[in-house]
Amino acid sequence: MPFGELDEEAAKTPAWYALIVLVRQVEPGSRLRAACDFSTDLLPLPDDEAVIHALFDAVMQHETVPLDSAALRTLIEKYRASGVAS
C-alpha cells in the first residue's frame, strides 16, 4: 500500500479507532500488507507473534476484526489451537 493511499485510509478511520498496517514477510524481500481499523481500546497490541498472525489472517480472509478484548482473546486462542502459530 503506497504511503499516499495510507494517508487517505487514515483520514477515513472512525473516531476511537486507529488504522493499523499488518505486515507479513512471505519470502525474503517480499511482504504482504493488510490495513484495518482497530479499536484504540485494544492498543497497544500484545508483543506476541500469534496475535499479529491471527489479526493478519482475519483481515486477509475478510473476517471480523476483534472489537473488544474478549473477542481478541478468542481469536488468539482459535489461532493457537489451529497449530499455525507457536
The pLDDT tens digits for 10-61 are: 778 888 888 888 888 889 999 998 888 888 988 888 888 888 888 888 888 8
Q: Looking at residue 86, what DSSP letter applies?
A: -
Q: Which three cell numbers stand for residue 69?
A: 478484548
Separation between Cα atoms, residue 8 and residue 10, nearest integer Å = 5
In one letter, which amino acid is 57? D
**What are the sequence ranges of the domains in the chain?**
3-81
Q: In angstroms, rounded to a whole number, what is the distance separating the alpha carbons of residues 24 and 10?
A: 20
Q: What is the DSSP letter of 34?
A: E
Checking if the pLDDT of 2 tops 60, the result is no
Residue in the block written with cell 497497544: 44
